[in-house]
Structure 1
Amino acid sequence: MAKWAFRCRSLAVLTVLALVAAACGHNDNDDRIAEQDKNAPLGSDYGEGIVVGFSMDTLIEARWLKDRDLFVAAVERMGAEVNVQAAGGDEEKQVFHAENLISLGVDILVVVPNNAEVMTEVVEEAHAAGIKVLSYDRLIKGADVDLYISFDNEKIGRMQAEAIKKQVPKGNIVYIGGSEMDNNSHLLRKGAFSVLQPLIDNGDLNIIEDRFTDEWLPAKAQETMQRVLENAGSRVDGVISANDGMAGGIIDALMTMDLQGKVAVTGQDADLMAIRRIIQGTQTMTVYKPIDLLAETAAELAIKLARGEAVTADKYVNNGKGEIPSVLLDPIFVDQSNIDATVIADGFHKREDVYK
């Protein structure tokens, strides 16, 4: 990853938009930035008169607070308004919020679904009201979603598994995934097992636990890990944790048997505490997803959809209903060797906070 790629978010967003419109076959953040001279910034009145409905699963995790703030700021910079509704991890409440946004007559509905299946009818209701739907970070299943934007979750899963493979070429592995209701959890697992399965088949790796985690809750992940340790004792060599929050709970469980730092643990989201754990040696790696690029690109694409402008995509992801036009951004592997060159250089975390 070229170092300057981390310092060009606004230009990268413009390039994403150009490539989406052109439906080209590339999907590399650096390539998008390299095309920056072909684009002009969208004006502060571009979204004037448009109201964006943003239906979010939760704001409990710091990551989602960042998404909200960055997305709102990007929409408002274009002169549009945002109505944010966060459901606190309650799928029924999210349906109610989304239907309320539709009834209020928003011009575009952007959804981070709690349950990929439950929001299907919401998409149909939105379309009946003439409102397009953008699926943000997590894919809504079983519905004709107008556009999906996320990071390449299968690639993230492969990154996590490759890190474990490097640390534990032979041994006992635990897989602790995210919410089974979240399509991303399935994509992450698919990517991870594409790396792990050959090693499982030849007997090098043994999966002693493989389960999803309700609502991605760290406490649930900790309970799972505690139970595994009670059954397997110290015979655990690596844990693939789908995200950093759960990794924290898993490492807390490992500490009860003085195994922190002795068992490889993955993560995702580059949370501040995870970065500190990587420095301390209790977490092996994380995956950094430039949320500013995600939020800003989603904001501009949402405004384009609301304005009725043509938006095509360079990727398509099947959601059980059909092939959904998709923009998949590139995730970035982070371990002790490149913290300064990634999350700090990009301004995602301050150096003084990381090394506090």
Structure 2
Amino acid sequence: MLKVLHKNSQVCILFLIMLLFNSACTNQVADEPNKADRIKLVSDDGKPYIGFVLDTLKEERWYKDKALFEEKVVQMGGQVKTLAANGLDDIQIKQAELLIQEGADVLVVVPHNAEISGKIVEMAHKAGVKVISYDRLIKNSKVDYYISFDNEKVGELQASEVVKKVSKGNFAYIGGAESDNNAVLFREGAMKVIQPLIDKGDIKIVYDQYTDEWKPETAQENMQSALQQNSNQIDAVIAANDGTAGGVINALSSAGLSGNIPVSGQDAELMGVKRIVEGTQTMTVYKPITLLAEKVAEVAVKAAKGEKVATDRTVNNGEIDVPSILLDPIAVTKNNIKDTVIKDGYLTEEELYKK
């Protein structure tokens, strides 16, 4: 009798599993969410629900953005859910779809791929959800708002600080991921400073390469190639962020050149600013993330409530002139660390100067 019951129980469990599996499969092939079939799954109904879709949490700075953004949304009476795709486009699209299905009023997206992320905007708009492009611009789409820093200015600051150190010779450019529109803008900004010196014959760009996925190890390989191709005769390096700068400096160190060649950076990451203190990195660009995260949170909650959002310019993304807010970046060198990142509480003296 017990054996029969046990066997019947197994059959029932198997039947339930099959039902769940079939249901899951049906959901996977369902049409994209539309306004009619969205269900609010989060708590505190009535509060604006903001979905934060991050590219990655593999880099130090994005933890800061996440914490600051979430805190400000809650402070303004909203609720927020953050998902990170860690550099996988298909996952990022699925995460956006999930947040739309859960009833998000607004999606805030840090796109991994500027082109592919247009799919998120299309899905969201079909469901009546607005999309804010955070820090990086989503290309070729009708994205509602773009809030970032002046990224051409970032590149100008990088090149300007390097040129203050070395204004003649062989330069290498180690960019970010070409799929990230910001990386393209950084290079354009840097070339505004460098091109006149190239035209004069003072500077020669002997190596110019984007860095797939922004990976420091790829930047290191690129810098090793630059050194090999030029018999170590590199006089300066413009690196697009602190991660790529770290890879560049590792390559320079292996060649016995670390500290002798100016190297730019960006993001004011702890390790980048520590390298400035040590003298192996020339500068970084501080983009006060508190200002960015809080401004985006304010816009997101306003948009969720249907309130008017004031912008100060537009940026063309290949499809439309996107209403935009662009904040000012700040160059950080050894001379102004205390007046910038430390003064703002972004980094501490103990973190930077402890032995």
Q: What TM-score comes out, normalization by structure 1 length?
A: 0.86
Separation in structure 1 between the aligned mates of residue 274 and residue 108 of structure 2, nearest angstrom: 33
Question: AA paired with 2:212?
Answer: D
Give the 5 Å matches for 1:106-255. Answer: 106-255=104-253
Unaligned runs of 5+ in 2: 1-44
Separation in structure 2 between the aligned mates of residue 215 and residue 151 of structure 1, nearest angstrom: 20
- Report whether the alignment pairs 1:290 with 2:301: no
- Report whether the alignment pairs 1:81 with 2:79: yes
- Specify which of 348, 352, 355 is matched with residue 353 of structure 2: 355
- Specify which of 329, 332, 341 is matched with residue 330 of structure 2: 332
Local SS of the residue matching 1:265: coil
| Structure 1 segments of 4+ aligned residues over 6 angstroms from their partners | none
Separation in structure 2 between the aligned mates of residue 48 and residue 180 of structure 1, nearest angstrom: 41
Unaligned runs of 5+ in 1: 1-46
Question: AA paired with 2:323?
Answer: P
8 A contact 1:164–1:266 mirrored in 2: yes
1:312: Cα distance to partner? 3.0
Local SS of the residue matching 2:47: coil
1:233: Cα distance to partner? 2.6
Q: Which residue of 1 aligns with 2:100?
A: 102
Q: Which residue of 2 aligns with 1:281?
A: 279
1:229: Cα distance to partner? 1.3
Question: AA paired with 1:111?
Answer: V
Q: Which residue of 2 aligns with 1:44?
A: none
Separation in structure 2 between the aligned mates of residue 312 and residue 142 of structure 1, nearest angstrom: 22
8 A contact 1:239–1:263 mirrored in 2: yes
- Report whether the alignment pairs 1:267 with 2:265: yes
Moved more, 163-172 or 132-141: 163-172
Q: Higher relative contact order by CA 8 Å / sep ≥ 6: 1 or 2?
A: 1
1:91: Cα distance to partner? 1.1
8 A contact 1:48–1:80 mirrored in 2: no
User: What are the superposed Cα offsets for residues 288-322 of structure 1, whole Å, 9 maximum, x if unpaired?
Assistant: 01101100110011000010111131111010001
1:79: Cα distance to partner? 2.2
Separation in structure 1 between the aligned mates of residue 232 and residue 342 of structure 2, nearest angstrom: 35
1:211: Cα distance to partner? 1.2
Separation in structure 1 between the aligned mates of residue 96 and residue 128 of structure 2, nearest angstrom: 14
User: What are the superposed Cα offsets for residues 61-84 of structure 1, whole Å, 9 maximum, x if unpaired?
Assistant: 010111011111111112211111
Question: AA paired with 1:281?
Answer: G
Higher gyration radius (CA): 2
Local SS of the residue matching 2:207: strand
1:346: Cα distance to partner? 0.6
Separation in structure 2 between the aligned mates of residue 270 and residue 241 of structure 1, nearest angstrom: 13
Separation in structure 2 between the aligned mates of residue 209 and residue 196 of structure 1, nearest angstrom: 14
Separation in structure 2 between the aligned mates of residue 86 and residue 262 of structure 1, nearest angstrom: 38
User: What percentage of aligned pairs have identical amino acids?
Assistant: 55
User: What are the superposed Cα offsets for residues 228-248 of structure 1, whole Å, 9 maximum, x if unpaired?
Assistant: 112223310111000001101
Separation in structure 2 between the aligned mates of residue 299 and residue 214 of structure 1, nearest angstrom: 30
Q: Which residue of 2 aligns with 1:311?
A: 309
- Report whether the alignment pairs 1:69 with 2:52: no
Separation in structure 1 between the aligned mates of residue 315 and residue 165 of structure 2, nearest angstrom: 32
Separation in structure 1 between the aligned mates of residue 161 and residue 350 of structure 2, nearest angstrom: 27
Question: AA paired with 2:178?
Answer: E
Local SS of the residue matching 2:153: helix
- Report whether the alignment pairs 1:320 with 2:321: no
Separation in structure 2 between the aligned mates of residue 184 and residue 225 of structure 1, nearest angstrom: 21
User: What are the superposed Cα offsets for residues 123-147 of structure 1, whole Å, 9 maximum, x if unpaired?
Assistant: 0111111110000000000111111
User: What are the superposed Cα offsets for residues 326-346 of structure 1, whole Å, 9 maximum, x if unpaired?
Assistant: 100010110011001110011
Question: AA paired with 2:194?
Answer: L
- Specify which of 66, 71, 91 is matched with residue 89 of structure 2: 91
1:48: Cα distance to partner? 5.7
8 A contact 1:248–1:274 mirrored in 2: yes
1:166: Cα distance to partner? 1.4
Q: Which residue of 2 aligns with 1:25?
A: none
| Equivalent residues, number | 310
Separation in structure 2 between the aligned mates of residue 341 and residue 310 of structure 1, nearest angstrom: 35
